[in-house]
Each structure stands twice: as C-alpha cells, then as structure tokens.
Structure 1
Amino acid sequence: MEKNEEEKFEDIIEGRNPVIEALKSGREINKILISKGHVEGSAKKIISMAKDKGIVVQYVDKNKIKGLSTSDNHQGVIAYISPYKYKELLELLDELEIKNEDPFFVICDEVNDPHNLGSIIRTANAAGANGVIIPKRRSAMITSIVAKTSAGAIEYVPVCKVTNLSRTIDLLKEKGVWLIGADMDGREEYFKSNLTGKIAIVVGNEGKGISRLVKEKCDFVVSIPMFGEVSSLNASVAASLLMYEVVRQKSSKK
C-alpha cells in the first residue's frame, strides 16, 4: 500500500500482546503489518485470528516496521486501528448504577508520561477498577506507547477524557464518590484510611504532584511512607499501591 493510502489510518498499536488483545476485544482494525522475519510463535496466532476476522495482513520489510514504530518495542507487529473512543463519564456512571456496582476510578491529574499512563491502565484492569479519568489538556492521551505499555489492558479499561477535572470531581461527589488524593503531604498513611465504597483515587503529575485546586477538592489526602533516600514514587507505582489497598480492603469486607 502506498504512503498516501496509509495516511488515511489515524492510529497504530504495536507489539504482539497489544495486537492480540485488540483482536480479542473486537476493536476495529484496518490492517496488520508483520515483519517478514517475525512470522513465528505468537505472530502465527495473530495471523490466524486476523484471517478469521477477515482482517488484511501484510508482510513487510523490518525497516518499514521500525520506521512506523513509536515505542521501539514493536516485536515485528503493527496494527492500524480506528481512533480510540473515549468513554463518556456519565454513561459509565449510569452503567455502574444499573449493575448496582460501586464506582472505583483512578483520576490522573496531568500525568504526562505515556508509559506511566499505560502502566496505570494496566494495573487498573488487574485491580478491577471501573475506569481511568484524564483531563483533556496537559495530559498524556491514548497513543500507541500507552497501548503497548498497558499490555493490551487499554482494550478493557474505559478511559474518560474530561474538559475540567474540578467540575468532574464535583459531579463524582454528587454521585456519592469519595475522592482520595495521593500526595507526600497527606496527613494519613494510605493503608490506615478507609478506601471502601464508592472510591476515586487521584494521582498527580510526575514532578509536581496533584494540582492545588484538585487537592483541595479531595475528601482526604493520603501519603505513602518513604524510608529511603528517594523522596517520592512515580505516578504509576503510587497508583498501583493505592489500587491494591482498595482491593485488599474490599476483600476483607466480604
């Protein structure tokens, strides 16, 4: 396919596991490129799944794959996909209400590193979170790097892109959701706090942490004890600790 035709496709995902998960989830895939020297192992599974779904597979030179890759971890496989469809928060809340399920969200306040965002989404899927909320501005968006880092979890965890985080927090509070910020200045250690019920964990920017206005709107702010010379954890690690504390506390209530 010539360059001008390829430009019609608006996004890519790369790496074998993310492409497999996209195929399994029913994501709309326009075509798949596989490096001629990488047709073995899980690549055969991708070819078989694509054939069953009627998706075009093209075998191309490895330099073409390398030139298209943004994560440099493509494993010889790239898929052209339709643009990622962000979930509407109100729609997600309505769905949870119908299922009589308490919301469990992760809010990313200006998390700019796509690797951190991808890792948060991956852990959110593992911990059973209902969704990840990101602001429309000053945040990493869903890209091929995020999809790759999430190890395919992006196909299963709804991501809501909102215009204003402060107004979103107000909306969540109206729905009975408690907002828990993670910050080194938190008054209480996270494992001593009540993280049951309707919960939204807020993690901040890799350097600045949670913004002042968002922090003020949190119901309470918790800290993660640090005993070494490094004074903070990155956003994805902090989010992981809090998410699994939510899991632990919910399990202990059963």
Structure 2
Amino acid sequence: MTDIPRKNRKPLVDSPWKQSASRPLREHSAAATDAPRERKPLRPSGELRLYGLNACRAAFANRPQDLRKVYLSEARVADLKPVLAWCVKHRLGYRVVETMDLDKLTGSRHHEGVCFEMLRHPPKGLADLLADLPAAPAPALLIWLDGVGNPHNLGALLRSAAHFDVAGVIVPTSSSLDLSGAAARVAEGGAEFVPMARVDDVPAALQALRAAGFDVVATVPAGAADLYASRLAARSVLVFGAEGEGMSRELIAAATQRLSIPGSGRVESLNIAASAAVLLAEYWRQTRR
C-alpha cells in the first residue's frame, strides 16, 4: 500500500505516519501497517475494526480516547477533518488509502471510505448492566437474544434499540454473536449506545431480572396474545429467538407474557430485526404517553 500523491497542495494535517512514497512502511510502535492480504484481517483481540461513516463518527464522538488507527479515502478527508486533527494532536496514525485497500482492511465493499481501529467496549455481565439502570419501578427496556447469529440482523436491531432507548442487550455466553464491523456499520452508530451483556447461567439471570422488577416477554410468530391488545410492563425484557429454530423452551416457559405481531398471514413471520422494531415502537408508544 502506498500513500496517495498530494500534487500542488499542502496536506490537511501532518500525519505521524508520513513517509516518502519510495520507502515502504514497516510495522513498529508508531507507524501504520500495510493492508493485510487476507479477506478477514487479523487484529488484537481488544480492538475492533469499525467501518461506515456513521458508525465511525459515533464511536469517535462517544469515546475518542479509544481510537487507535484511521484509514480513509481521499474523498473522506474533508468529512473527517476533526478526527485527523485529533490524530495529529495525540500522535495517532492515519493514512489516506485507495478504495481497494479499504476493501481488504474491512473485508467489505460497504466501508463508505473509512475504517477506524478502536478499542472494544469493556465486557459487561448482567450485574453490571442492571447496576447502571434506575431502580424499580422506573421504566427500563432490555432485549434478550436467544440463538440469533446474523451480524446484519444484530446491527439493524441495535439501530432500532438506540432509537427507542433500549438499556441493553443480553446474550448467552454460549452464543457466537458479538459486535463486529459489519454489525456496527448496519447499526449506523447505534452500537455505541446499547451495551451488550453476556450471561452464563440462564436460570440465575432470569431470577436476577425478576428481582430487579422486570417482566420477561417472549415474542413468538403465532399462537400468542396480540401485541396491540396487550399491556407491556414498564420494566420489560423482550426475548427474540433465532429465525427457524425460535427461542428455547426454557425462555418461553419463563416468560410472563407471550406475544405475537398480528398481520395478514401471507408470510409466516417477520425477521428478527423487523420484529424487534415493531415491539420496541409499541413499548415506546405505551410507556411514553
């Protein structure tokens, strides 16, 4: 990877990575690395490669101290001038690169001309999540994902969750679901505002939620109470299962309510992201009156 030539103009800001185009960059503590050749790049376990303009802007606005590296296209220089100024001030590396390099760095063509390497949010447990919430009976909404694994569904759900002020998402430790660059891009910045917590012991987690004043609401495709004829508790945990397999019997049995979204019946059900948006909007309508 080589720097893009800057003909007849001065650079916007001086990068600590700036070198002669004839000198290849080498890995060391204060320099950039070349774009990895693999489709899915290796990275330190404590870092996440974010991409997409809104996702990167939200992460920088929310926690600029966690920024580690910036890659961007020439077309994004003006859009990200404050970020580049931060990089210069704090001696963080940034590079203006070609689109094909961003394709390789992100493993995607949907990067929108920017890629940030950020520290991941510190992992949370359910106790941490509950400690951050107002005490009962104050309203609070949580989501529990059981078996959901598609990063794009997670991203769309996080976007809706941020819009409707969801306090957090609960995921079993056994689940492979985690925040990825793809999920963060689809979330359009929403991933910054909805923490994810992992639980090891499902029965203990359900007991802790009940002790904190939460009703557990299982969402099923059909055969349950009509969402629009039901009253949602001010403190609710909405449980969504994987498409096809659905949620575990344990969670269905533990539910205070079982709800379905009424519709024409022409399709079996909505996907996870669409279902979540409908449930969250109805909760908002009922509790914000």
TM-score relative to the length of structure 1: 0.89
**Which residue of structure 2 lines up, in the alignment, with residue 134 of structure 1?**
171
CA distance in 2, matches of 1:236, 1:166: 26
CA 3–183 in structure 1, closer or farther in 2 if over 3 Å, else same: farther
Q: Which runs of 4+ in 1 moved over 6 A?
A: none
CA distance in 1, matches of 2:210, 2:256: 9
Q: Secondary structure at the match of 2:95?
A: strand
CA distance in 2, matches of 1:30, 1:153: 20
**Which residue of structure 1 lines up, in the alignment, with residue 155 of structure 2?**
118
Per-residue Cα deviation, 1:46-67 (whole angstroms, up to 9, x for no partner) = 4345456654321123222111
**Which residue of structure 2 lines up, in the alignment, with residue 202 of structure 1?**
239
CA distance in 1, matches of 2:206, 2:274: 23
CA distance in 1, matches of 2:210, 2:219: 17
The answer to whether the 8 Å contact 1:70/1:145 transfers is no
CA distance in 1, matches of 2:54, 2:222: 38
CA distance in 2, matches of 1:132, 1:39: 32
The answer to whether structure 1 residue 223 and structure 2 residue 260 are counterparts is yes
The answer to whether structure 1 residue 153 and structure 2 residue 182 are counterparts is no
The answer to whether structure 1 residue 33 and structure 2 residue 71 are counterparts is yes
Per-residue Cα deviation, 1:188-219 (whole angstroms, up to 9, x for no partner) = 11121111321111111022121111111111
CA distance in 2, matches of 1:12, 1:197: 36
Aligned length: 251
The answer to whether structure 1 residue 81 and structure 2 residue 134 are counterparts is no
**Which residue of structure 1 lines up, in the alignment, with residue 19 of structure 2?**
none
The correspondence for 1:70, drawn from 103, 107, 126, is 107
Q: Secondary structure at the match of 1:107?
A: strand
Q: Sequence identity, in percent?
A: 25
CA distance in 2, matches of 1:202, 1:88: 17
Structure 2 residue runs without a partner (length 5+)? 1-24, 34-41
**Higher alpha-carbon Rg:** 2
The answer to whether structure 1 residue 170 and structure 2 residue 207 are counterparts is yes
CA distance in 1, matches of 2:127, 2:239: 18
TM-score relative to the length of structure 2: 0.79
CA distance in 2, matches of 1:163, 1:171: 13
**Shift of residue 23 of structure 1?**
0.6
Task: State the Cα RMSD in Å.
Answer: 2.3
Greater helix share, structure number: 1
